Chains A and B, each alone.
Chain A
Amino acid sequence: MAITAKIGKRNTWTVNVGVYNGGTHDHSKLFNRDADDQHPMGAIKGLETFAKNTNAHMASKENPHGVTADQVGARPDTWMPTASQVGAAPDGYGLGEGNSRYADDINKAILPGWYHLGEQTVNVPAFAGSGYILWNYSCVFVQRRNSTIWQHFYTIGVDGVGHNFMSVRVSSDAGTTWSELEYLNPPMIPGVEYRTTERYNGKPVYAKVVSFGNLPNNSSASASWQPDTGYTDSIVDARVIANGNFVNVVSSVNSSAIWVETSGDYSALTATVILKYTKS
């Protein structure tokens, strides 16, 4: 049986809404209808598909409407954050990079990070025995707390192996003035005086190797020596290495001479004396 519904104020439109086979079209019987009068969902064409598609759409995370980042206030996929926006180290300071930042003026390397030196770097501190250093392979690590700045130098020697050593200096006025350079592991080139990070009685300990020449035959011998600058205060240590061996022959050391005493023929041995001392 065809159902014809008339809609509109003046019943001017007529629409056929389908064919209803059986049951009733009396809506006073919407409740407690018998089986013949029921309207199962499956009987409505396309409704299940519609519901399924609606659920799938609601669950989709694939941005089915093509909403842009700008529409939702998000950053575009071309956005490149700055170091400060993600709390990272500043660009160009050598952290996480293959090469550190070149320091053309070492006195301006005052922000934390890694720098490297070159032959043209100016204001490089006075490195003792600087002729033994390859500047192009040396670098500096800078640490800072307010106006106190530490510069740690990692220096490569000319032989690339044996003269790799570390030294440090500090500024307490934001880099205006600097302390003397102090060596953690001085290369101990004979004849060169090094100020070290060691302390004796609160004073910096200096180190120097004196080439003594051949040891004497069953007698005493002395060789003159002096610090590169200033005057000695205390002789902290004196050891003799002769032909690669430690020999206990030092009898005394003062500010100007090293005395050794041998009780046999040591004349075949060539000695170097390792001195450590403070200055007045």
Chain B
Amino acid sequence: MKIIKYKFLSCEVNHGTEAEPNTEQIFLEKTMGWNAVNEEIAKKEAYNGEYTIEDDGQPEPEVQPTPEQRIAELEEALAMLLSGVTE
């Protein structure tokens, strides 16, 4: 399965005072399943714009049918069932 990995700046914390700030930048590692939209997020969030696309060795997740597709499947199965009863 294709994934996107990158480091991003999560937040900055001031451990000093208002007059003498001592700011710490907190970076986190982020991983997302790849798709075009997620890659756009990575381009925007990644520190220095650096991200990688890798294969994690896992199978691609099954694409779940939309509710409309699922209803159509059920209606088809019901029609077949009813036709068997009437024959």
> Does B33 contact A221, Cβ atoms closer than 8 Å?
yes
> Does A191 contact B10, Cβ atoms closer than 8 Å?
yes
> Does A158 contact B18, Cβ atoms closer than 8 Å?
yes
> Does A210 contact B28, Cβ atoms closer than 8 Å?
yes
Indicate with 1 or 0, residue by residue over B50-67, a CB within 8 angstroms of chain A CB atoms: 000000000001001000
Q: Pick the contact of A216 from B16, B17, B38 — CB < 8 Å?
A: B38
A82 in the interface (beta carbon within 8 A): no
> Does A216 contact B13, Cβ atoms closer than 8 Å?
no
> Does A221 contact B37, Cβ atoms closer than 8 Å?
no
> Does A213 contact B12, Cβ atoms closer than 8 Å?
no
For residue A213, which residues in chain B have a CB less than 8 angstroms away from its CB? 8, 10, 30, 41, 45
A121 in the interface (beta carbon within 8 A): no
Indicate with 1 or 0, residue by residue over B1-38, a CB within 8 angstroms of chain A CB atoms: 00000001011111111100111101011111111011
For residue B26, which residues in chain A have a CB less than 8 angstroms away from its CB? 191, 211
> Does B13 contact A129, Cβ atoms closer than 8 Å?
yes
Q: Pick the contact of A220 from B17, B21, B32 — CB < 8 Å?
A: B32
For residue A164, which residues in chain B have a CB less than 8 angstroms away from its CB? none
> Does B17 contact A219, Cβ atoms closer than 8 Å?
no
Q: In the complex, A6→B41 CA distance in Å?
A: 135
B40 in the interface (beta carbon within 8 A): yes
> Does A219 contact B10, Cβ atoms closer than 8 Å?
no
> Does A191 contact B11, Cβ atoms closer than 8 Å?
yes
Q: In the complex, A56→B51 CA distance in Å?
A: 106
Separation in Å of the B62 CB from the closest CB of chain A? Answer: 13
- Given A191-B26, A219-B38, A225-B28, A214–B13 Cβ distance below 8 Å? no
Indicate with 1 or 0, residue by residue over A239-280, a CB within 8 angstroms of chain B CB atoms: 000000000000000000000000101010000000000000
B44 in the interface (beta carbon within 8 A): yes
For residue B30, which residues in chain A have a CB less than 8 angstroms away from its CB? 213, 221-224
